[in-house]
Amino acid sequence: MPRIRLPLISVLALSLFMVLPATTTPAADAAKVPPPSGTYELDPNHASITFKINHLGFSRYTGRFDKMEATLNLNSADPAQSGLDVTIYPNSIDTNNVKLEEELRGDKWFDVIKYPRATFQSTKIERTGPATARVEGDFTLMGVTHPIILSVAMIGDGKHPMNGKETIGFSATGLIHRSDYNLMNLLPMVGDDVLLEIEAEFEKTAE
């Protein structure tokens, strides 16, 4: 079955690139300054990593990971110098099927006792448009590391209306092959390609 990629990770790593008008401020104009540089932490209550995988040729089976952490070190002056670190906890897998979740946590799949964490660390950020970026990084799952690519879009930035914190939000997508991480069960009936869809909000930490 699938493994994530983070790509919360990252969902994540576009903030390091964007200088868009804030969607949180109604009359923002194109001259708005970039988000302030600094360290941003993922708001876990407003983040998700969803995976989709071909199931017997009939559908895209969908699940998610419910527990993750991420830190974004944003350099607004030189976004390429920004960095994103993500940790995902496979034990939090959620498929809306308790029996399947127990199976996936076992040693024939994610083996969460031996491998309690999956990680993503960005290695390169390339701006591809006024609100988009390509984020490359190393994704480690079950002790195996491979490079992955996330296509990231910034949704908005600005002062959070509820808590006043500087906030940045992103959507991201990526594709991984589960066989790269030795997740070989039920191939090819259950697909090798795993589509990742990430949504994430980051809040700036106090200096």
The CA radius of gyration of the chain, in Å to the nearest whole number, is 17
pLDDT at 132 over 90: no
What band does 32 get if pLDDT is binned at 50, 70 and 90?
low
How far is it, in rounded angstroms, from Cα 102 to Cα 90? 11
pTM for the full model?
A: 0.81
How far is it, in rounded angstroms, from Cα 62 to Cα 51? 6
pLDDT at 205 over 60: yes
Can you give the pLDDT at residue 9? 40
Give how far Cα 163 sits from Cα of 6, 45, 166, Å: 27, 14, 9
- Give the mean model confidence (pLDDT) for residues 141-154: 96
Can you give the pLDDT at residue 78? 83
Which pair of tokens denotes residue 66? 């419910």
- Give the mean model confidence (pLDDT) for residues 5-11: 41
Give how far Cα 179 sits from Cα of 25, 193, 198, Å: 44, 9, 21
